[in-house]
């Protein structure tokens, strides 16, 4: 997807502040952090929204979740706790249409979210 911001990060056209990368996923710091640590974990494959996640993507989404947990451990707040979020479409507040798992940590989170 040539016009997708996150695909441009995967291709190297845009260089994010990367924390982790392998053949399947990329994790980088959010440009507008909402917590002391705010990381986005994306699949390298373009999938527009959570509604487009199919059975075949289940291992990939599992890897995204495990990557977020590994980064939480690495950043030192795994035991204290953290939040992961995937926003979907307009009411969910999705602004970049390439799925991404937000990892927020380093402060207490509140519920319900806004």
Report the catalytic residues. 100
Q: Is residue 1 part of the contact set for Zn ion (CB under 5 A)?
A: yes
- Nearest approach, Cβ of 1 to Zn ion (angstroms)? 4
Q: Is residue 4 part of the contact set for Zn ion (CB under 5 A)?
A: yes
Q: Kindly tell me the number of DSSP H helices and DSSP E strands found in the chain.
A: 3, 5
- Nearest approach, Cβ of 21 to ligand AMP (angstroms)? 14
CA pair distance 48, 27, nearest whole angstrom: 17
Among 16, 64, 98, 104, binds Zn ion (CB under 5 A): 98
Q: At 103, is the secondary structure helix, strand, or coil?
A: strand
Cα separations in angstroms, 72 against 24, 75, 77, 83: 19, 5, 6, 10
Give the interface size with ligand AMP as a residue count (CB under 6 A).
11
Residues 52-81 that bind ligand AMP (CB under 6 A): none
Positive or negative, the Cα torsion across 81, 106, 35, 96? negative
4 binds, options Zn ion, ligand AMP, none, Cβ within 5 to 8 A by partner type:
Zn ion
Q: Among 54-62, 68-76, 90-98, 105-113, which window interacts with ligand AMP (CB under 6 A)?
A: 90-98
């Amino acid at each position: 997807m040539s016009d997708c911001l996150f695909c441009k990060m995967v291709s190297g056209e845009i260089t994010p502040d990367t924390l982790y990368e392998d053949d399947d996923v990329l994790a980088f710091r959010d440009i507008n952090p909402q917590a002391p640590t705010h990381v986005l974990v994306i699949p390298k494959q373009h999938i527009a929204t959570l509604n487009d996640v199919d059975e075949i993507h289940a291992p990939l989404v599992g890897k995204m979740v495990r990557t977020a947990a590994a980064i939480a451990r690495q950043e030192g707040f795994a035991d204290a706790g953290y939040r992961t979020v995937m926003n979907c479409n307009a009411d969910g507040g999705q602004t970049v249409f390439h799925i991404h798992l937000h990892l927020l940590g380093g402060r207490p989170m509140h519920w319900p979210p806004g």
